[in-house]
């Protein structure tokens, strides 16, 4: 629910309403308890943003890891192909 402050601004509230019964079980009044929900809502949004950032960092870390694997393979192939082109001197006794 949403309520209005004295200055006219709106704020979220949590409200619980319960009936008050007489001796015969007939509803004679209602009682309501209302609580400002603003801080709770802000904490929920903050937690949601932190979860999103954590998920993003895990995804980015995984992508970086995969990219690093590709680069390592490319460097390994480059080094391996370079050693094949090098002439290795033969021992003099052969």
| Domain co-membership, 25 together with 54 | no
Domain annotation covers residue 91: no
pLDDT at 89: 66
More confident residue, 14 or 72: 14
pLDDT at 15: 93
Domain annotation covers residue 30: yes
| Domain co-membership, 24 together with 54 | no
| Beta carbons of 28 and 20 less than 8 angstroms apart | yes
pTM of the model: 0.47
Domain annotation covers residue 41: no
pLDDT at 92: 73
pLDDT tens sequence across 74-88: 777 766 666 656 565
Domain annotation covers residue 79: yes
Number of domains in the chain: 2
What is the rounded average pLDDT of the residues 10-29? 94
Domain annotation covers residue 17: yes
Rounded CA separation 46/49 (Å): 5
Residue 57, pLDDT > 60, answer yes
Rounded CA separation 47/43 (Å): 6
Domain that holds residue 75: 49-84
| Domain co-membership, 31 together with 58 | no
pLDDT at 94: 59
The secondary structure of 14-48 as a DSSP string is EEEEEEEE-TTS-EEEEEEEEEE-HHHHHHHHHHH
């Amino acid at each position: 629910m949403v309520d209005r402050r004295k200055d006219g601004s709106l704020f979220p509230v949590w409200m619980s309403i319960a009936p008050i019964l007489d001796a015969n079980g007939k509803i004679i009044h209602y009682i309501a308890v209302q609580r400002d929900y603003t801080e709770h809502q802000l904490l929920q949004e903050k937690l949601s943003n932190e979860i999103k950032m954590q998920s993003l960092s895990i995804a980015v870390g995984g992508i970086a890891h995969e990219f690093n694997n590709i680069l390592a393979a490319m460097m390994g192939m480059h080094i391996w192909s370079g050693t094949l082109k090098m002439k290795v001197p033969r021992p003099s006794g052969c």
